[in-house]
């Protein structure tokens, strides 16, 4: 079946946490950290990255202390934790809050401490109650962004996971293309299998195809045809798609290994070369211009600026005006569908995986967007996933 080749969840080298703990205090003080604690639930990409554990909708803790990796398994999930986590699964006090359990793990590992206020590194967004438990146990939480920073550079195993989910995503968009190719036009509106083909119906078909490939939509599949809101959402997803309307299709599916892909395409049925076709030429040129900028050392903002300038040079209004909005021209992909680097002063490095997707929005005409996913290499980039986009829908290969 399609998608059979989805790889296992990559094992992460978390040596960076060990390095953090080994580094002398930059400020020359004596407060070298004694451990690292993260607390989050199964949806937290940082926790998934650190543990490889597919946790429930409930907070649990990861502790790195004295060369030991410890997962404070959530109640009811110790079996699963043992199967998935490469380290010690702590099962003491299963009903206690994760912050309290993490403090107990630190106490056990460190024994009697001379330091009454030992520093423990944590992500800044650790739940407040967990931070308070650590403080009560005599630890001083100090925030680090090391996990987010580490996630921004992918290991080869992570690139492999992203390639596999990207193949599935491109396949599902190709499936939508074949539906559009097979659709009939009646009174200017599209029909498929004897019913009106609406943006919502096409979106559901795409999500169904993703599911058959073993990945899932994560609720972020977009189909917008014709008039949109100023931020590119379909103004009327329940009406039949019209002939020549730009049909923007975006998927950012999540694989069973947790990693996301990103594919943005625009198609039109029976375009006669009007606004939609001119806008498509603009985003094609913008994508080429942006990709031409990609190499290590370049700022992600430069890539976005290049794309948006090209869109403007064609006389269109770039959609990606906000570096963090739904139409952001550049963002990283990984365990989050959108993650670092954003177009805001982040330098590309070998192993950065980037989605680049310039767009044009005109609330009356529609939204036209074209994207690619790339992994930054030592001397440029490689595309993630293949297949050439087409503006005119093609039938099945």
Q: Which residues of the chain form contacts with a copy of itself (CB under 8 A)?
A: 1, 3, 43, 45, 56-59, 74-77, 79-80, 83, 122, 124-131, 141, 143, 195, 200-201, 204-205, 207-214, 216-219, 229-231, 233, 254, 256, 322-326, 328, 336-339
Cα 75 from Cα 3, distance rounded (Å): 33
Would you call 160 helix, strand, or coil by DSSP? helix
345 conformational bin, left if phi > 0, alpha if psi -120 to 50, beta if neither: left
Residue 157 and residue 238 in contact, taking contact as beta carbons nearer than 8 Å:
no
Nearer to a copy of itself by Cβ, of 186 and 208: the residue is 208
Cβ 231 to a copy of itself shortest distance, Å: 4
Residue 50 and residue 38 in contact, taking contact as beta carbons nearer than 8 Å:
yes
Cβ 243 to a copy of itself shortest distance, Å: 22
Cβ 397 to a copy of itself shortest distance, Å: 20
Nearer to a copy of itself by Cβ, of 221 and 244: the residue is 221
Nearer to a copy of itself by Cβ, of 255 and 389: the residue is 255
Cβ 71 to a copy of itself shortest distance, Å: 16
Cα 100 from Cα 104, distance rounded (Å): 6
Cβ 98 to a copy of itself shortest distance, Å: 10
Nearer to a copy of itself by Cβ, of 88 and 338: the residue is 338
66 conformational bin, left if phi > 0, alpha if psi -120 to 50, beta if neither: left
Q: What is the 3-state secondary structure (H, E, C) of 230-264?
A: CCCCECCCCCECECCCCEEEEECCECCCCCECCEE
Cβ 204 to a copy of itself shortest distance, Å: 5
Backbone angles phi, psi at 259, to 5 degrees: -85, 150
Cβ 21 to a copy of itself shortest distance, Å: 20
Cβ 94 to a copy of itself shortest distance, Å: 8
Nearer to a copy of itself by Cβ, of 19 and 238: the residue is 238
Cβ 66 to a copy of itself shortest distance, Å: 24
Cα 223 from Cα 199, distance rounded (Å): 5
Query: Would you mind telling me the total number of residues written for the chain in this entry?
Result: 397
Backbone angles phi, psi at 254, to 5 degrees: -115, 130
Cα 340 from Cα 159, distance rounded (Å): 15
How many Cα atoms occupy the beta-carbon half-sphere of 142 within 13 Å? 15
Nearer to a copy of itself by Cβ, of 244 and 357: the residue is 357
**Closest-CA residue to 253 (of 170, 359, 374, 183):** 170
Nearer to a copy of itself by Cβ, of 204 and 278: the residue is 204
**Which ranges in 232-315 belong to alpha helices (H)?**
275-293, 300-313
Please give the structure tokens belonging to residue 302.
Answer: 């430069």
Residue 223 and residue 203 in contact, taking contact as beta carbons nearer than 8 Å:
yes
Q: Is the dihedral of CA 35, 41, 46, 52 positive or negative?
A: positive
Nearer to a copy of itself by Cβ, of 218 and 285: the residue is 218
Nearer to a copy of itself by Cβ, of 214 and 226: the residue is 214
């Amino acid at each position: 079946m399609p998608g059979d080749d989805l790889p296992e969840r990559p094992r992460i080298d978390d040596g960076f946490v060990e390095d953090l703990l080994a580094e002398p205090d930059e400020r020359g003080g004596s407060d070298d950290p004694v451990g690292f604690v993260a607390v989050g639930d199964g949806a937290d990409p940082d926790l998934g990255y650190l543990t490889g554990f597919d946790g429930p909708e409930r907070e649990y803790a990861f502790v790195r202390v004295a060369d030991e990796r410890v997962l404070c398994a959530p109640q009811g999930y110790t079996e699963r934790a043992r199967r998935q986590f490469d380290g010690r699964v702590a099962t003491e006090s299963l009903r206690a809050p994760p912050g309290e359990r993490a403090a107990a793990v630190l106490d056990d590992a460190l024994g009697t401490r001379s330091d009454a206020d030992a520093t423990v590194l944590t992500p800044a967004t650790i739940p407040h109650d967990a931070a308070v438990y650590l403080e009560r146990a005599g630890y001083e939480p100090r925030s680090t962004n090391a996990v987010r920073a580490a996630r921004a550079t992918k290991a080869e195993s992570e690139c492999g996971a992203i390639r596999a989910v990207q193949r599935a995503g491109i396949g599902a968009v190709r499936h939508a293309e074949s539906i559009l190719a097979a659709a009939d036009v009646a009174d200017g509106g599209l029909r498929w299998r004897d019913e009106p083909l609406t943006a919502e119906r096409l979106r559901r078909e795409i999500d169904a195809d993703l599911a058959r490939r073993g990945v899932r939509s994560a609720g972020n599949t977009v189909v917008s045809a014709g008039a949109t809101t100023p931020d590119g959402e379909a103004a009327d997803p329940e009406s039949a798609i019209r002939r020549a309307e730009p049909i923007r299709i975006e998927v950012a599916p999540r694989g069973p290994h947790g990693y996301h892909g990103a594919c943005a395409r625009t198609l039109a049925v029976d375009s006669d070369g009007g606004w939609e076709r001119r806008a498509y030429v603009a985003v094609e040129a913008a994508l080429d211009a942006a990709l031409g900028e990609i190499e290590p050392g370049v700022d992600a903002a430069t890539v976005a600026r290049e794309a948006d300038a090209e869109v403007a040079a064609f006389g269109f209004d770039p959609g990606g005006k906000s570096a963090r909005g739904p139409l952001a021209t550049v963002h990283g992909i990984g365990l989050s569908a959108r993650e670092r680097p954003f177009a805001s002063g982040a330098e590309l490095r070998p192993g950065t995986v980037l989605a680049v997707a310039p767009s044009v929005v005109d609330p009356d005409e529609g939204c036209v967007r074209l994207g690619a996913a790339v992994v930054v290499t030592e001397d440029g980039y490689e595309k993630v996933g293949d297949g050439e986009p087409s503006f005119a829908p093609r039938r099945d290969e």
